[in-house]
Amino acid sequence: MSLCMGCMQEIGDNKICPSCGFDTTEKQQAPFLPYGTILQNRYIVGAGIDTNGESTRYISHDKQTGDIVIICEFLPIGLFSREEGTTEVRINYENRLVYNKLKDDFLNYYRILSELRELSALMNVHNIFEENNTVYVVEENEDLIPFEEYVERSNGHLEWDIARPLFMPVISALEALHKRGVGHYAIAPKNMYITASGKIKISGFASENERKRGTPLKSQLFSGAAAPEQYDDNFPLDDITDIYGFCATLFYALTGHMPKSAVERRKDSRLLMSTTTVKRLPPHVVSALANGLQVERENRITDFDELRSQLSVAHTAKAIQDEISRTASMNLTKSERTRKTSNGMSHASIIIIAAAITVLVLGIAGVFWLMQNPLAGMFSNNTDASVSSTQSTEWTGATVPNYVGMTYEEAVKSVDSNSSITIYRTFNDEYSDDYAEGKIMSQTPAAGSKITQEDSVVVSVCVSKGSQMRTLPKVEGEKLDTVASDIAAQGLLATAEYEYSDKVAEGRVIRYKEHVEGDTLEYGSTVVLIVSKGKKQTSSQSSN
């Protein structure tokens, strides 16, 4: 069975996958695993999907089950090397202790995650093993919709009645992780997905070392979702940290935009939310967001029970009201229905009115809280203010440089003194009529993009293979080694056949065997050169 390394579908003898367009003639560049690598005599490794400072994920095929899976490989940037076409990771002597400690942390983290299969919000881990001097984690592969796309399809924001059942299982998942001594620390819209059944799945798992500054890893922090303490060197992270990320992501879901980055909020802690949005949301939800997004840890919600409680106040009050009304109605006898109190009201009416007053008081308390709480002054005064108005302000932060037109080596050299940017070559070079071979033809994120991961940004660059069709150069009368070099420069291969010639000196090229100068051939094609053996000696010349 021949599989496409880009999508793991059967491809037969095709060089270009009809399903995803993957070019099977390509090679996966080091330090990533070569295409088709077999792990544990079971898993076929394909193209890389994404990478961070700690690991890289590949699409893969499980030969035992026939399933497409995701394999996550521990690959800490800057602490290892891997030669082209090989699988074993090599660690420099001076890095061995740090590497082994980080590897153990990575291994232990995923072992804990693998024990939480019953939680719907977590990705299932099928297998964990060590090979090639590193660690591999086999994860499930599902058809998922990116959460950001889901919100965009929902008119740019979610209503609370929709968001509530989506986010409550996330609280349970985070709570379960922290009870086992680990956290996620990267809850952000980019790490959330929606399943076909309409539930949230969390992605972006990594050990704590990857989610804060001051560790040997190039940390990956998500602007607006990372808590302030994650920007402090080696600050211990805990459930309070994940509560910040959770509330930031819920804030995004309900408003359509992220809070400002924690670095900016340390200078100005206000949250941008239009009064139109405030009026649309239940007061207790706005209160919970404010408490969960406090810049100072001591003012923030401190545990998941409290977070769950603050997000459920109005829901609980309504449930109590409904239950009181239902019970009162069921228990009333005919005589009780007709019996009136001294003021002419039935006992049931008094109970229902009392419940209504309770809910009303809760609502008034919520409004009063909005007037007195830390969010006062954080909202736009314009009731028609839209989120887009806050997003349209000119970006003054860092942006991604332009690497297009450079060679890969030039791009890497340009960031030698910039520890916040890492250049990675994409897993597939591509043909281009616009960019010479070896030049970067595209990059992700694009030049000028806002840098939203404040500590380390991974820029993926695609290198041009040049034009797919190559023009044959002039060869007649040229030296063989010169012609061979010119043809190789065109991305073509050359072989030679020899024959006598009265006109062309020995060792020089007479012609192409089947082509002429100016013909175009596909990159990688082979051409045959006819090379002169010189004049053929006659018998009389031989006797002399």
Domain boundaries, the chain: 1-141, 143-390, 408-463, 469-543
Q: If DSSP codes are grouped into helix, strand and coil, which group holds residue 106? A: helix
Q: How far is CA 512 from CA 469, 489, 508, 518, 532, in A?
A: 18, 17, 12, 11, 12
Q: What CATH architecture applies to the domain 408-463? A: 2-Layer Sandwich (3.30)
Look up the CATH superfamily of 1-141. Answer: Phosphorylase Kinase; domain 1 (3.30.200.20)
- Chain-centroid distance of CA 234 in Å reads 23
pTM above 0.85, yes or no: no
Beta-carbon contacts of 355 under 8 Å, excluding residues fewer than 6 positions away, are: 320, 321, 324, 325
Query: Do the first three CATH levels of 1-141 and 408-463 match, i.e. the same topology?
Result: no
Are the beta carbons of 242 and 184 closer than 8 angstroms? Answer: yes
- Chain-centroid distance of CA 444 in Å reads 12
- The model's pLDDT over 186-228, given as tens digits with 9 standing for 90+, comes to 999 999 999 999 999 999 999 999 999 889 988 889 999 999 9
Are the beta carbons of 201 and 194 closer than 8 angstroms? Answer: yes
CATH class, 143-390 region: mainly alpha
What H or E segment, with its residue span, contains residue 521? strand 520-522
Q: Which is it for strands 469-471 and 520-522: parallel, antiparallel or unpaired?
A: antiparallel
What CA–CA distance (Å, rounded) separates 201 from 169? 9
Is the domain defined by 469-543 classed in CATH 3.30.10.20?
A: yes
List per-residue pLDDT tens for the chain, 544 residues long: 689 999 999 998 888 888 888 888 888 888 999 999 999 999 999 999 988 889 999 999 999 999 999 999 999 988 999 998 999 999 988 899 999 999 999 999 999 999 998 899 999 999 999 999 999 999 999 989 999 999 999 999 999 999 999 999 999 999 999 999 999 999 999 999 999 999 999 999 999 999 998 899 888 899 999 999 999 998 999 999 999 999 999 999 999 999 999 999 999 888 888 888 888 999 999 999 999 999 999 999 999 999 999 998 644 444 444 544 454 455 544 444 444 444 555 555 555 555 555 545 545 444 444 444 444 444 444 444 443 433 444 556 678 899 999 998 899 888 887 767 878 777 567 888 899 888 999 887 788 877 765 556 778 888 888 888 888 999 999 999 899 888 988 888 889 999 999 889 999 999 999 999 999 998 888 899 999 999 887 766 555 5
Are the beta carbons of 463 and 479 closer than 8 angstroms? Answer: no
What CA–CA distance (Å, rounded) separates 217 from 106? 12
